[in-house]
Structure 1
Amino acid sequence: MPRRSRIPRTPRSHWLLLGLVLLVLCSLLGLDVLLNRAGTAATPSGSRQFVPESAFAGGSVIDPREPVVRHPRTRHLALTFVDGPDPQWTPEVLDVLARHQVHATFFVTGAQAAENPALIRRILDAGHEIGNRTLTRTDLRQAGDLRVQLELQATDLVLAGAAGITTNLVQPPYTTTGSLDYEAWKAFLRIGNHGRQVVLADLDSQDWLQPDTAAVLANSTPRDDRGAVLLMRDTAGPGTVEALDRLLPDLQRTGWQVDSVGGTFQLSGTANQAQFVDRIAGTMLVVAIQVSRWLADSLRALLWVATGLAALRAVVMLLIVPIHVRRSRRWEPPWQISQRVGVIVPAYNEEAGIANTVRSILASDHPVEVIVIDDGSTDRTVEVVQQLQERFPRIRLIRQENAGKSAALNTGLAAANSELVVMVDGDTVLEPDAVGRMVAHFTNPDIGAVSGNVKVGNRRSLLGRWQHIEYVIGFNLDRRVYDVLHCTPTVPGALGAFRRSAILDIGGVSDDTLAEDTDLTMALERDGWRVVYEEHAISWTEAPATYGQLWKQRYRWCYGTLQAIWKHRRAVIERGPAGRLGRRGLPYLLIFQVLLQVIAPVVDVTACFALFTEDAGNVALTWLGFLALQAVPGVIAFRLDAESLRPLLVLPLQQIVYRQLMYLIVVQSVITALAGARLPWQKLERRGQIVPLARR
C-alpha cells in the first residue's frame, strides 16, 4: 500500500556501487585463479630435431639469440633454487648459505615474489641473484609467444615493484636437460626473442617429493667432475635445508666451487635496474596480487563460516523443532473463546482478490466482523466491497485518503468493537478454522499476539513453487524455533491475531519502518507480551508472479526488517519478553536471515573460481556440503506442514537461480540501510490466482 505523502527517490547509485564491487571482486578472484591454478607439465615428445647436441651435455646457460650453449667449468656447480620465495623455508636456506659463504641464484615465480617482496630484497642484499621462473609456473612448451611474453614481463614487473630490478635469467618450469625436446627448444627461442638467457639444470634434488635428507643429498651430489647446475626448491621444507647444510661443506672439502649462475658461468649483467615507470606499475601489480590472495583466503574462510552457519541452523532445527511438535500436539485451550472477533483488512487497489478474502473471512467457524479499510484505492476495490455489503451485513467499509498501511490498520483498530482482532492482507484467503485456532491462545493472559501459518496459494508456476519452498522452509520452520525460544520477531501481515488493547497501549501500529508487522511484533514483546505461533491456523496468500514484483516485495521486507532491528536494538539489554527477543530473536534473525544471506553469494562466487585452483576438490566438497545443509530442513518442514514433497524436486534449481536473486536483494537492502536512505512502499500487482489446498 503506497504512501504518497512522502516518496523519496530510490538511490540508483546502489546498483552502480554493487556492480563495481562485483566487478572488482571477480577481477581479483580471477587474478588469484590465474596465479594459483593447478599447473600441469606437458609430456616431452622425445624429439631432438633442431636442438643443438651441446644442449644435452649437462647443465648449461643457453642464449637462444645466437644460439650459444655454455657449460660450467670442471668442478664448478651453479646452485639454483626455484618456485620461491617461501616465507618459512627461504629464510632458513639463506641462513645456511650465509653460514657456508655461498651465493646462489633464486628463480622466483612472480606470484610468490609479489606475496613476499621483503624476501626478494633480502636475497639481493645477501649478494644472491634473482632469476625468472615465470609468473604462474607455467610450462612454456604449451604457451605461445604472447603468453611467454606476459609470463616473463609480469614477473619482471613484480621484481621491479618489490626490489627495483629486472632479470635476464630464466629457468623454464618443468624443463631440465633430461626433458629437453623440440617443443622446449621452441619455447627457448621465444624467450630469446625477449633478450633473455635460459638456465637448464642437469641435477635435480627431487626435494619436492620430500624424501629423507639422505635421498635429497644423494640426488644433489655430482656424479663426476664435470660442472653442473643443481636445482633445489626453497619451498620444499626441512629436507632441503638439512641436505643443503651437509652438501655444501662436502663439496667444498672435495674441491668444488659452488656459486650462483652468474658466478659459475662468469656472466655479467644478469640483472638490470628497473625504470621508474616499471617500478610504479610493478608496485601496483604487487598490491593487486597481495589483495587478491588476501581476498581469496578470506572468502574461502567465509565459505567455511557459511557452511558452519548452515550446519548450526540445521542442528538448531533438529533440536528445537521436535520440541515444538510435541508441545503443539499436547496443547489444548483451557476454555473456548466465543466473543466476536474483528477482522481488519487494509486494502489499496485490491480489486483482484478482495472478494475472495472477505468471503473466506465470513466463512470462518468463529464469529467475526469484517472491517475493510479502503486506503484511497483508485480501482474497483470499493465497488466490490459494497456489493458484498449488500449480501453480508457483517461487513463494514471505512474509506480514507491514502495514508499507508499502518494508518489503515490504526483506523481499523479504532473502529473495532472487540478486544481480539485479526489482521489480514487484502490478497489473503483464510481457512475456516484459522480465526478460531488463533484466538484460542488468548486464554493465556500473557499472550499479546498469535502468528498464523501463511502458505503460497499460486504455486503452479516455477517461481510460485520456489516461493512455496521458501515459505515452508524459510518462514514457517523458523517460526517454530522462535515459538520454542519465546522470541518471535514477526507476526505476518497476511495473518495475525492481536489484543487490541495491547496495540493501543504501545501507541498503535507505527509507520517508522517498511515492515510494520515486524515493528509491531517487536514493540509488543518489548512491552512485555508473549507472541506465539499457531501452525494449524492456515491462510493462503498470492505470491508475486513476476521477478520484478518479487524484487519489490522482498526488497521492502528485508529493508523494513533491518529498520525494525535497528529500532528495537535496545531489547538486547532489557529483561523479560523483550530480553528474549533481543538476545535470542534478533541474533538469530541477523545471523541466519541477514549475515548468511549476505555471505552466501560471495561463497558461491568464491567456490566457482576456486574450482580452477589446486584446492578445487576441498572447495567443491565444502560448497556441496553447504548446499546440502541448507536443504536438510526442507524435508522436515514439508513433512510437518503436511505438504507434498514433490515441489522439492526443483530445490536444486532454486539454490542456483532463485537464491542468487534473494542474495542480491539482501545485499542491496544492507547497502541502502547503511546509506541511511528511506524507501517508498512498493505496491504489488495482484491477479487473484490463489488456489487453496482443498481445490488442488
Structure 2
Amino acid sequence: MSKNRRLPRGRHSTVRNVPLRTHWLLLTTLVLTLSAALLLQGYATHMFDTTADGAHRDPGPADTVPEQIRTGGPVIEGSVGRTATVKPRTIALTFDDGPDPRWTPQILDVLRRNGVRATFFTVGAQVAAHPELARRIVEEGHQIGVHTFTHTDLGAASPWRRSLELRESQLVIAGATGVTTPLLRPPYSSTGGALDDSAWDSVVQAGTEGYLTVLSTQDSQDWRRPGVDQIVAHSLPADNEGQILLLHDAGGDRSQTVAALERLVPRLKASGFELTTVTEATGLPAATHGAATVDVWQGTSLIYALRASDWVLSALSWLLWAAGAISVLRAVAVFTAARRHVRKRRVPWGAPVTEPVSIIVPAYNESAGIEAAVRSLLASDHPVEIIVVDDGSTDGTADIVESLRLPGVRVIRQRNAGKPAALNTGIAAASCNLLVMVDGDTVFEPDAVRMIVQPFAHRRVGAVSGNAKVVNRGGLLGRWQHIEYVVGFNLDRRLFDLAECMPTVPGAVGAFRREALLRVGGVSDTTLAEDTDLTMALCRDGWRVVYEERAKAWTEAPATLGALWKQRYRWCYGTLQAMWKHRGALTQRGQAGKLGRRGLLYLLMFQVLLPLLAPVVDVTAVFGLIFLDPLRILGLWSAFLLLQLLMGLYAFRLDKEHPGPLWSLPLQQFVYRQLMYLVVIQSVFTAIAGSRLRWQRMERYGSLQVPAGHQAPVGHQTPVAPPAPHSPGRQDADWSR
C-alpha cells in the first residue's frame, strides 16, 4: 500500500470554514430591491384605473356636503369650505389624464398656434413615463395640476392612499418640471352638485393637505368619442357664464379631441370668450411655485425608480420566457434521450464480463450501516473481493466489520485523511482490474455488481455510473429526495450517456477500470466533489463514462432539512470546483470537448444559472398574482407542474417504481425547490468569495437493511481471483494528488 504524501501548505485541500454573512445580506438586499421595484411598477401600472372620467357611477348619500359647496363655484378650498367662481365670458380649458406621447404634443401645438393657455391635470404615473411633456406644458406657459398618481377614485380610497396618491404625483411633477402645484382634479368628478359624502371627505382631506379642488362646469364628452361635431357642440357655452371645460389629452384615441379643438378655439375667441387657465379664470393667485430642492431630488429619484422598475419588468419578462422555453426544450431533450437510451440498452455491450471485481468501501464513522452494506456486497452474484478502508473512525466501524469474520472481506485501518485518501488506499490494495467504489451507507442489490461491470466489455468505457436509490423514503423530505433521484438524477444521466458527457459517477455506486484510474492519477482531493472531479478527469483523458440503470444500490438520504442542506451544499460547491478545474475541456477536442461543450455547459445552465434565477421567478410569480391576471399565472404554474408530473411518471415507469410519491410533487415547489436554489446561491457566493468549505459529513440513521434473501450464508466464500503480482504503476504508484 502506497503512502499518501502530504500536500504543501496553501493547497486547496486544506479547507477552512469562513462565516459568510455578506452574501445573505446581498441576496436579501437584491430580493427586497427587486420586490420594491416590482411593487412600484405594479402600483404605478396595474393599479391604474382606466375607466373614463365621465363614465356613470352610482352616487352615494350626500348628507354631509355643505349647501354652499353644492351650489357654489367649481374651485373648492375644502379645508374651510370656500369656493371660487369663473369670471363671465371666460372659459378655462382643462385637459385630464395626460400627458400622452401622441396626443398631448398635438394639443399643445393647437394651443400654441392660437395663442391660448390651458390647465393640464396630469396623472403622476404618466408624468413619470413622459417627464419631457410635463416640462413642455410648464415651459409653454400652461398650468399643471394633479390628477392623482394612478387615476384612482379618491372618494373610494382610504385616507392613507389618498395622501400617497397626491404626494407621489406632486413629487414626480416637481422632479419633471421643478415646480409644485396646489391644483387638484379628482378623477371621476364633475360638478359640485354631484359630490357625495365620500367624495366630499376626499375634498376636505385634500384641502387640509394644501390643495384646491378644481371641478368642471361643462363636459365636452370627448371621452365618449361621439364625433368632432358633437364634441364642439357640447363644448360651446349656452350663455355668457364663465365655464371650466373638461377635455382629455390621454386615456385613449383623442384624434377627435384634437380636431374639435382646432375648430372650437377660433370659434370661442371669435365669440368674444377669453380662453385661459383656471387661476386666471377665477382670479386666484398664480398656482405653480418653484419646488424645494429636496422635492426635486425625491421626484427625480422616483421618476428614475419607475423607469428602472419598468426596465426590470421588461428584462424579467424576457428572462422568464427564455427560461421557460429552455426548460421545455430540456424536458423534450431528456424525454427523447431517455427513450433512445432504453432502446440502446437492449443491445449488449459485448461478451459478458465475468472477471472478478474489487469493491472499495471508504468508511468514516459508519457503524450504523456498515454491516448491512458489507453483507449486501458479499451477497453479490458476481465474484468480488471487499476492501473496507477505515479512515480513522472513532465509533468502532472497523471493529464491527472484523467481528463479522466474513470471507473475502478485508479491513484496512489508516489515520483520518479524508475520503479521497481512503479510496486511493483501497485502490492500491485491490487485486482486480475492475473496481467498484461504494459509500459505507449503501446496500447493493445482488445483481448490481454484475450489471455495473458489463459496459466494460467495450474497451473505451473507463467508468460506469450505477442507479442510486433512496432507501429512507418516509415523510415528505424522503419522498422529495426519492423523486429527485429518480426524475432529476437518473433522467439526466441517460441524456449525459447518449451525449457522451457524463459529469458524475456517484460515490454511492460507481465502477472504474483500473487502467483509467492510473492514467488520471487516482482520486484527487482538490475538490469536495471527488466523484465529479474524477469523472471529469476520466472524460478529459478520453474515456467514455456510461450509465447502467440496472445496477441498483440503496443509500440513506438526509432525514432533516439541516442535514440535507449540508450535503447539497458540499455537493454543489464541489461541483463548482470541479467545473472550474476542468474548464479547459471547453476548448479541447474529442471526448474532453464533449464534456466541456455539452456537459459543463449543461451544468452551468441548469444547475447554476437557472437556480440563481429561481428567486426572481418566485418574486415575479407573486407580482403576477397581485397585479396581473392570477388565473393566467396559476394556469402557467399548473402547466409547468403538469410537465414535471409527466416527466416524473415516465421516469418512475423506466425505473419500475410505484408513482405514489408523485402526489407530493406540488408541495415540493414550495419548500424543497427553494432550499435547493438557496444551496446553489450559497455555493456560488462561497466560490466567488474565495472561501473554502469544510467536509460536511451526513448523519447516519441506521435505516439500511440487507434486502430479504440477500444475506450470504454462513461459511459462504465468494470466489475471487488471487492477488496479482506487483506491476509497474499499480501498488507502487503514488495515488495522492
Give the structure-2-normalised TM-score: 0.87
- The alignment partner of 1:504 has SS state of helix
Inter-partner Cα distance in structure 1 for 2:262 and 2:163: 36
Corresponding residue number in structure 2 for 1:525: 539
1:133 aligned to which of 147, 151, 156: 147
Task: State the match for 2:339 in structure 1.
Answer: 322
Q: CA deviation at 1:55?
A: 5.6
The range that moved more, 35-44 or 481-490, is: 35-44
Aligned partner (choices 313, 335, 343) of residue 359 of structure 2: 343
CA pair 647-265 structure 1, distance change in 2 beyond 3 A: same
Give the partner amino acid of 1:667: I
Alpha-carbon spacing, 1:372–1:248, altered in 2? closer, same or farther (3 Å): same
* Matched-pair contact (CA < 8 Å) for 2:645–2:662: no
Q: State the match for 1:261 in structure 2.
A: 278
Q: Do the aligned residues in 2 keep the contact of 1:216 with 1:243 (CA within 8 Å)?
A: no
- Alignment-derived partner of residue 199 in structure 2: 184
* Matches of 2:221 and 2:689, distance apart in 1: 57
Q: Would you say how many aligned residue pairs link Structure 1 and Structure 2? A: 688
In structure 1, the residue matched to 2:37 is 28
Aligned to 2:21: 12
Q: Find the partner of 1:421 among 435, 441, 457.
A: 435
In the alignment, is the contact (CA less than 8 A) between 2:486 and 2:655 conserved in 1?
yes
Offset of residue 527 of structure 1: 1.1
2:213 aligned with 1:198:
yes
Aligned match for 1:308, one of 320, 325, 328: 325
How far apart are the structure 2 equivalents of 1:230 and 1:205?
Answer: 7
Pairwise CA distance, 1:601: 2.4
Q: Which residue of 2 aligns with 1:656?
A: 670
C-alpha spacing 1:179/1:313, structure 2 compared with 1 (3 Å): farther
* Cα distance between partner residues in 2 of 1:470 and 1:567: 27
Tell me, what secondary structure is at the counterpart of 1:131? strand
Shift of 1:437: 1.0
Equivalent positions of 1:633-644 (< 5 A) are: 633-644=647-658
In 2, distance between residues paired with 1:80 and 1:689?
A: 79
Aligned to 1:304, the other structure's residue is in SS state helix
Q: Secondary structure at the match of 1:459?
A: coil
The Cα of 1:562 is off from its aligned counterpart by: 1.6
CA contact under 8 A between 1:100 and 1:249: conserved in structure 2?
no
Moved more, 646-655 or 192-201: 192-201
* Pair 1:22–1:208, CA change in 2 (3 A): farther
**How far 1:560 moved relative to its partner?**
1.4
Aligned to 1:358, the other structure's residue is in SS state helix
Asked whether the equivalents of residues 429 and 540 of structure 1 are also in contact (C-alpha less than 8 Å), the reply is yes
1:173 and 1:548 map into 2 onto residues whose CA distance is 54
Aligned AA (1:84): G
Which residue of structure 2 lines up, in the alignment, with residue 358 of structure 1?
A: 374
In 1, the alpha carbon distance for the partners of 2:530 and 2:167 equals 60
Match status 1:479 vs 2:493 = yes
2:511 is the alignment partner of 1:497: yes
- The aligned amino acid for 1:169 is L
| Deviation for aligned residue 1:208 | 6.3
Contact 1:44 1:181 in 2 (8 A): no
For residues 428-577 of structure 1, what are the structure 2 equivalents within 5 Å?
A: 428-577=442-591
**Matched residues in 1 for 2:229 and 2:568: separation?**
64
Amino acid at match of 1:313: R
Distance between the aligned counterparts of 1:691 and 1:253, measured in 2?
98
Superimposed CA distance per residue, residues 430-454 of structure 1 (whole angstroms, 9 cap, x where no aligned partner): 1111111111101111111111111
Letter in structure 1 aligned against 2:212: Q
Give the aligned partner of residue 276 of structure 1: 293
- CA deviation string 1:639-667 (max 9, x = no partner): 11111111111111111121111121112
> What residue identity is the alignment partner of 1:276?
T
- Answer yes or no: is 1:588 the counterpart of 2:599: no
8 Å Cα contact 2:442-2:556 kept in structure 1: yes
Q: Is the 8 A contact 1:438 1:537 kept in 2?
A: yes
Counterparts of 1:258 and 1:616 in 2: how far apart (Å)?
Answer: 48
> In 2 relative to 1, CA 173–616 (structure 1 residues): closer, same or farther, beyond 3 Å?
farther
SS at 2:432 equivalent = coil
Can you give the 5+ residue segments of structure 1 that lack an aligned partner in the other structure? none
Paired residue type of 1:484:
L
Gaps of 5+ in 2: 1-11, 710-737
Q: Structure 1 residue aligned with 2:59, among 35, 38, 45?
A: 45
2:734 corresponding residue in structure 1: none
Supply the distance in 1 between the matched residues of 2:109 and 2:659 (Cα, whole angstroms). 66
TM-aligned CA distance change 1:301 to 1:628, over 3 Å: farther
| SS at 1:656 equivalent | coil
Q: Is the 8 A contact 1:58 1:228 kept in 2?
A: no
Mean Cα deviation higher: 37-46 or 5-14: 37-46
Tell me the residue number matched to 1:376: 392
Moved more, 596-605 or 459-468: 596-605
Equivalent-residue separation in structure 2 for 1:659 and 1:132 (angstroms):
46
Contact 2:228–2:259 under 8 Å retained in 1: no
In structure 2, distance between residues paired with 1:293 and 1:156 = 20
Q: Does 1:385 align with 2:381?
A: no
Within 5 Å, give how 1:387-406 maps onto structure 2. 387-388=403-404, 390=405, 392-406=406-420
Relative to structure 1, is the Cα distance of residues 206 and 370 closer, same or farther in structure 2, using a 3 angstrom cutoff?
farther
Residues in 1 aligned to 2:577 and 2:441: alpha-carbon distance in whole angstroms: 25
- The Cα offsets for residues 233-285 of structure 1, whole Å up to 9 and x where unpaired, read as 44434x21453134233342243554433344343321121222323333333
Q: Which amino acid counterpart does residue 287 of structure 2 have in structure 1? A: T
**Bigger mean CA offset, 607-616 vs 225-234:** 225-234
Supply the AA of the counterpart residue of 1:356: A
Give the direction of change, closer, same or farther, for the CA distance of 1:373–1:47 in structure 2 (3 Å limit): same
SS in 2 for 1:414: helix
Structure 2: distance between partners of 1:359 and 1:89: 83
TM-score, with length taken from structure 1? 0.91
Between the aligned partners of 1:601 and 1:351, the Cα distance in structure 2 is: 40
Query: CA separation in 2, counterparts of 1:410 and 1:263?
Result: 93
Which residue identity lines up with residue 466 of structure 2 in the other structure? G
Aligned residue in 1 for 2:721: none
In structure 2, relative to structure 1, the CA distance for the partners of 1:516 and 1:278 (3 Å cut) is same
2:464 partner SS: strand
1:312 maps to a residue whose letter is L
Distance 1:534 1:219 in 2: 84
Larger radius of gyration: 2
Contact in 1 for aligned 2:93/2:119 (Cα 8 Å): yes
Alpha carbon RMSD of aligned pairs, Å?
A: 2.8
Single out whichever of 439-448 and 297-306 deviates more from structure 2: 297-306
Using the alignment, how far apart are the partners of 1:368 and 1:52 within structure 2? 100
Identity, in percent, stands at 52
Greater Cα offset, 57-66 or 481-490? 57-66
Task: Assess if the C-alpha contact under 8 Å between 1:525 and 1:577 holds in 2.
Answer: yes
Instruction: Measure the CA separation in 1 of the matches of 2:632 and 2:509.
Output: 45
- 2:488 & 2:640 partners in 1: Cα distance? 16
Partners of 2:93 and 2:638 lie apart in 1 by: 46
Bigger Cα displacement from structure 2, 273-282 vs 498-507: 273-282
Counterpart-to-counterpart distance in 2, 1:213 and 1:583: 64
Q: Give the partner amino acid of 1:236.
A: G
Paired with 1:262 and 1:692, the residues of 2 have a C-alpha distance of: 92
Q: Aligned partners of 1:152, 1:24: CA distance in 2, in Å?
A: 24
- 3-state DSSP of counterpart to 1:454: strand
- d(CA) in 1 for partners of 2:496, 2:490: 10
Give, as a single letter, the amino acid of the residue that structure 2 aligns with 1:195. G
